[in-house]
Every structure is written in C-alpha cells, then in structure tokens.
Amino acid sequence: MDFPGIMLIFTLFAIIMAVEGGGHKTRFYKHYCEANDEEPWSYHGATNGPRQWPQLFPMCNGNQQSPVSINTNNVAQDNNLSRLNFVGYDTPITQAEVLNNGHTVMFTPQDGVKRGITIEGRQFAFQQLHFHFGSVRKPGAEHTVNHIRYPVEAHFVHSSADNVTAVVGLLIDVRKRNNLAYGPIVEVLPQVRFKDETTDLQSALNLNDLLPENPASYYRYTGSLTTPTCNEGVIWSVLQAVQNIGYSQLNSFLRLYAVEEDEKSRECEMAPNYRPIQDLNDRVIYASQ
C-alpha cells in the first residue's frame, strides 16, 4: 500500500476513535509520559505502574486487596446488613479545598460540618471525595460489576475514631444530559488541570445529591486502599445503583493532567486512573437487601 493510502486509513481510524456514544466526542489518549517514571508510583509508568506496586510497596501484595470484580451471581445475600446511614450529607458543603494531586482530583471539606456514615452502629467521619475515571471506550471505574467497567467511580472516604477506613464506592455512567448535582465539581476542574494545583469550591456541593435515588443497597467486602501503600482492613460499600453524568462533564475530567504544567505536560493525561482488578482469594462479597 502506498503512503497516501496508509495516511488515509490512519486518519479515518483517528476520526472513528474520537467519536463515542452516538456522536458525542470525548478525548482519546494516550501519549507515553516519561514524567510518570519519576514519581514514587503512577498508573502509567513503565517502572512504577500497578504491576510494580507489589515490589515497591509490600502491602500491595496482600491477600485482601482492592478493587475487586463483583459477580452478582456469586455474592452472598446478607439480610442482616443494615442500611447505609448517611449523616450530614444533606448539608451542602460551602467551603472545600480542591486538589489535583497527580493521581486524582480530591475535594476536602473545610466548613466544619460533621458528615459521615454509620455502619452497624459505628461512626465514620467523612474525609474527602475523589474520582477514578476514563473515557467511554476506555472506562476508568475501579470495581467492575458482572465484568462491566463504568466510565467513572466516585470514592467517598471516611474514617473512624480508631483510624479504620470505610469507603463508599459509586459507579457512574455517562448520558447525553448533564447532572446538575455534579455542576459544582465540574466547574472547578479547569482550575486544577495540573498536578499540585489547588482551588476553592465555588458553589455549594450537596453530597446527598451526588448519590443515586436509592443508595441503601450495596455490596460489602473487606479490602484495601486502591493506591499505594494499599493498606488493608478497609470496609468497602459499593452502591448497587448507578449514577449518571453528561458527556461534557466527563470531558472535563479527561482534561486533567498527572504532572505540573510545562511544554510536555499534555502528554501526561491523568486518565485512566484506576488500579486493575485484584484477586478475591477467600473473601466473600455480601449484598445488602
């Protein structure tokens, strides 16, 4: 085949890959980013990516690691699991730090309001919210359900007085219409496109509105942090109901970068920022009512 023919095929392929979800364009990645290899760990580095985490961080080689694949045919129904009780989630966050830490974008409340969840009578205080994401064709959620990986997963991170971590995982799909509840999140992303950039929340953020209509049903298992140092003993509650955001909202996440701004920073896209599925080993995943 002659050179013009090869270029035509390449151009057509690029156009096809840029069009997703019924004509909605989303960003396509990725260039190789040398800067990733300079970090203690990364999602895309050749020497410090997820495959190398167990060697770099021994706890990442544990037997109770996260994320996991949830097969609804194999979960154990546990009618004794109580409803997730969200405390203070309906009080809008009016002050929060927004940070691009090179691995995710994180929202940390600074308004002094007590928020949290109650698990089997135990109190866990809300600490921060962050996201794992990718495109429609290369989704970035961490947990999978029946081998389906959604484009986005939100992690609502909590801790108890004795330093036990409890995370609520929310799987997020993409639709044509934007989700107004996620507006306060999306509007600040352009201010934190590059690593170590911070900004303040501009509009009140209601955590309760970020959740699906029925957040009471969930999958429960014991796992780990999904980033180094991969500490185990984390109580995971992955909501069974799925939330939605719009294509344009997803694209705002895909314009985030894993490095500080320079002439090559756009080769270092943050997405997809998820850890591969880990072995379940002898653990059981329970389903609430």
Q: Which residues are marked as active site?
A: 103
Q: Do the Cβ atoms of 101 and 109 come closer than 8 Å?
A: no
CA-only gyration radius of the chain, Å: 19
Strands 198-200 and 144-145: unpaired
**Contact between 132 and 104 (Cβ < 8 Å):** yes
CA distance 25 to 19: 5
- Output the 3-class SS for 185-214: HHCCHHHHCCCCCEEECCCCECHHHHCCCC
Angle at 36 between CA 224 and CA 198, to 5 degrees: 75
What does the block give as tokens for 189?
A: 């992303």
For 248, the token pair is 């344009």
Please say whether the beta carbons of 140 and 271 come within 8 A: yes
Helices (H) and strands (E) in the chain, counts: 5, 17
Rounded CA gap, 268 and 42, in Å? 11
Cβ(215)–Cβ(278) below 8 Å: no
